[in-house]
Amino acid sequence: MDLKPLDPEIILRLLEGHTNVISPTARERDQFYNSQKCSECGSNALIKTQKPNRLFTGDSLVAKWLLGCKDCGALFDPHTGLLINMGNPAKAMVPAIPILKGPHDL
């Protein structure tokens, strides 16, 4: 089944007189996600991730994402605080003493 997009002029005519409630909600939600830190290592290097069948749950107008940490690999739900995957906080730590692996590191 091929999807055919609507003509943009028709879309604009259909939307006349209606208030845009999705864009402000999406901006607030993005600010919320950008303000989060990893619950395991404290990093703010987070990526949005989710299974497609769980994006729109409840009465939400915009998608609800899980956040995954690029540093330690933890996966958590910022809305409930539920930790789904602990990850490895040691990956995100910088050792106090540099680890020397060979003579080229000296």
Q: In terms of residue numbers, what domain contains 50?
A: 8-101
Angle at 63 between CA 4 and CA 65, to 5 degrees: 130
**Position 53 in a domain:** yes
Domain tally, the chain: 1
Tens digit of each residue's pLDDT (9 = 90 or more) over 90-101 = 776 666 666 666
3-state DSSP assignment of residue 46: strand
Segment 65-76 mean pLDDT: 89
pLDDT band (50, 70, 90) for residue 28: very high
**Token pair for residue 49?**
């991730």
**Position 45 in a domain:** yes
pLDDT at res. 94: 64
The pTM of this model reads: 0.67
**Position 25 in a domain:** yes
pLDDT at res. 95: 62
**Position 50 in a domain:** yes
